[in-house]
């Protein structure tokens, strides 16, 4: 019994010692890790220097300050639209049934290329009228020729000769009318019995509202095809009445859309409306936009910023600004890990970004996230 108690005492004592040693071993690890990650910061006037790999650098976002035109106004709401100067909304001039489709949405078509063919009674009637008019004109010309021979031989009275001559003029006029009507319909290939609806200009088919077998009519509310040049677009802006004096024809504007965040497209004011909408108190402004890369699409919503006169200035996000009393400061990265607190003078301050007139050069790298933390460290170490 005594021997069993001794063994039990050794087991309990060994367990206590093992627990104590394990606790000391694992409890000491966080202290060692903490001492390894401490990153010293050196302060010198308005300059912060961090060693490579300092954890503070992970909380910063540094971006290059690009030179942008200074806006004359806050961004205005607008929308991308077709340029009507290079856009055709094609409808059928006659009623009929679609026999065949000649172009699909997205196809490039040339001027005069058939878009679809119609089986149309109106087209057949126009063709019959032309043939009838031509036949009647030939008959009247033959009759006039006989009348002239008889009149020259003094066999036919003058009034009968003049009547034959008048019949020829009337038949010629009717033939010209029927021919013009037929030419206006543009019949398509020679000998084809169906009416061919043709593209009036070169471009891309962006919309198609016709299907084989469907009935079409001239008074349809929507066009059968929309053909346009997608490299040229308009931007339509509703300008508040109070800002009318800040825009002019030919003024440069910047376009931004949600589909391409961070990218700005250049446009120019083409026309300013002459009438103020009585309900909204706004004026319609139309801008022309080059879309060579075809990134923008009609009916996109856009933010339109009219530019002011003068040279472009560095643009920074408002999150980069630090206000100290009456002055404004930025943190500029002069070297990797070296950040300088620099006083700047703003030319324009908007809701999202500001433009620096003095104190910053285009292309310099600015802290756009974490500037307030840097300012707190700088003040705490001063």
**Residue 255 falls within a domain, yes or no?**
yes
**Residue 261 falls within a domain, yes or no?**
yes
Q: What is the pTM of this model?
A: 0.65
Task: Give yes or no: residues 180 and 103 share one domain.
Answer: yes
Task: Give yes or no: residues 329 and 358 share one domain.
Answer: yes
Q: Give the integer Cα–Cα distance in Å for 322 and 335.
A: 20
Q: Give the integer Cα–Cα distance in Å for 179 and 128.
A: 11
Tell me, what's the pLDDT at 160?
A: 86
Domain containing 355 equals 48-70+312-381
- Mean pLDDT calculated for residue range 70-83: 90
Task: Give yes or no: residues 97 and 204 share one domain.
Answer: yes
**Number of domains making up the chain:** 3
**Residue 11 falls within a domain, yes or no?**
no
Residue 342: Cβ within 10 Å count: 18
Tokens of 262: 């961070």
**Residue 171 falls within a domain, yes or no?**
yes
Residues 104-147 have pLDDT tens digits of 999 999 998 999 999 888 887 888 888 898 899 999 999 888 88
Asked if 117 and 196 count as a contact pair (C-beta separation under 8 A), the reply is: yes
Tell which wins on pLDDT, 28 or 330. Answer: 330
Tell me, what's the pLDDT at 206?
A: 94
Assign 305 to helix, strand or coil.
Answer: strand
What is the percent of the chain with per-residue pLDDT over 70, rounded to a whole number?
A: 85
Task: Give yes or no: residues 191 and 98 share one domain.
Answer: yes
Domain end, chosen from 306, 328, 354, is at 306
CATH of the domain at 259: 2.40.30.170
Task: Give yes or no: residues 100 and 222 share one domain.
Answer: yes
What are the backbone angles phi and psi of residue 197, rounded to the nearest 5°? -90, 120
Q: In the chain, which ranges are continuous DSSP H helix? A: 2-27, 29-37, 121-152, 158-185, 371-381
Task: Give yes or no: residues 238 and 183 share one domain.
Answer: no
What is the percent of the chain with per-residue pLDDT over 90, rounded to a whole number?
A: 47
| Helix 121-152, helix 158-185: angle, nearest 10 | 160
Domain end, chosen from 289, 306, 323, is at 306
CATH of the domain at 357: 2.40.420.20
Q: Give the integer Cα–Cα distance in Å for 175 and 215.
A: 30
Tell me, what's the pLDDT at 9?
A: 55
Task: Give yes or no: residues 106 and 126 share one domain.
Answer: yes
Task: Give yes or no: residues 222 and 235 share one domain.
Answer: no
**Residue 214 falls within a domain, yes or no?**
yes
Task: Give yes or no: residues 131 and 197 share one domain.
Answer: yes
CATH of the domain at 126: 2.40.50.100
**Residue 176 falls within a domain, yes or no?**
yes
Residues 300-354 have pLDDT tens digits of 999 998 987 778 899 999 999 999 888 999 999 988 888 899 999 998 888 888 9
Task: Give yes or no: residues 99 and 142 share one domain.
Answer: yes
Tokens of 71: 């806006």
**Residue 10 falls within a domain, yes or no?**
no
Task: Give yes or no: residues 139 and 184 share one domain.
Answer: yes
Domain end, chosen from 196, 226, 256, is at 226
Task: Give yes or no: residues 174 and 261 share one domain.
Answer: no
**What's the mean per-residue pLDDT of the chain?**
84
- Mean pLDDT calculated for residue range 220-248: 93
């Amino acid at each position: 019994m005594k021997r069993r108690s001794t063994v039990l005492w050794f087991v309990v004592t060994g367990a206590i010692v093992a627990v104590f040693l394990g606790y000391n071993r694992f409890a000491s690890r966080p202290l060692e890790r903490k001492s390894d990650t401490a990153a010293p910061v050196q302060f010198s006037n308005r300059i912060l220097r961090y060693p490579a790999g300092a954890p503070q650098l992970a909380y910063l976002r540094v971006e290059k300050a690009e030179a942008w035109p200074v806006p004359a106004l806050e961004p205005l709401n607008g929308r991308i639209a077709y340029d009507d100067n290079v856009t055709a909304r094609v409808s059928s001039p006659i009623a009929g049934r679609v026999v065949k489709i000649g172009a699909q949405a997205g196809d490039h078509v040339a001027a005069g290329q058939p878009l679809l063919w119609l089986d149309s009674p109106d087209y057949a009637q126009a063709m019959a009228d032309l043939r009838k008019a031509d036949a009647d004109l030939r008959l009247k010309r033959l009759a006039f020729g006989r009348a002239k021979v008889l009149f020259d031989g003094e066999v036919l009275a003058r009034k009968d000769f003049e009547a034959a001559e008048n019949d020829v003029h009337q038949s010629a006029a009717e033939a010209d009318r029927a021919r013009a009507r037929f030419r206006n319909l543009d019949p398509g290939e020679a000998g084809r019995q169906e009416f061919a609806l043709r593209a009036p200009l070169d471009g891309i088919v962006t919309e198609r509202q016709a299907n084989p077998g469907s009935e079409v009519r001239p008074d349809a509310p929507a066009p059968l095809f929309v053909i346009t040049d997608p490299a040229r677009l308009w931007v339509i802006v509703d300008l508040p009445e109070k800002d009318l004096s800040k825009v002019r024809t030919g003024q440069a504007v910047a376009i931004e859309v949600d589909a391409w965040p961070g990218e700005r497209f250049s446009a120019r004011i083409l026309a300013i409306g002459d009438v103020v909408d009585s309900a909204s108190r706004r004026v319609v402004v139309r801008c022309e936009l080059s879309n060579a890369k075809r990134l923008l699409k009609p009916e996109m919503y856009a933010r339109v910023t009219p530019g002011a006169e003068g040279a472009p200035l560095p643009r920074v996000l408002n999150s980069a600004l630090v206000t100290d009393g009456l002055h404004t400061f930025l943190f500029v990265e002069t070297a990797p890990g070296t950040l300088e607190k620099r006083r700047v003078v703003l030319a324009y301050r908007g809701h999202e970004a500001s433009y620096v007139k003095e104190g910053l050069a285009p292309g310099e790298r600015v802290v756009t996230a974490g500037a307030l933390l840097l300012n707190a460290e700088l003040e705490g170490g001063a």
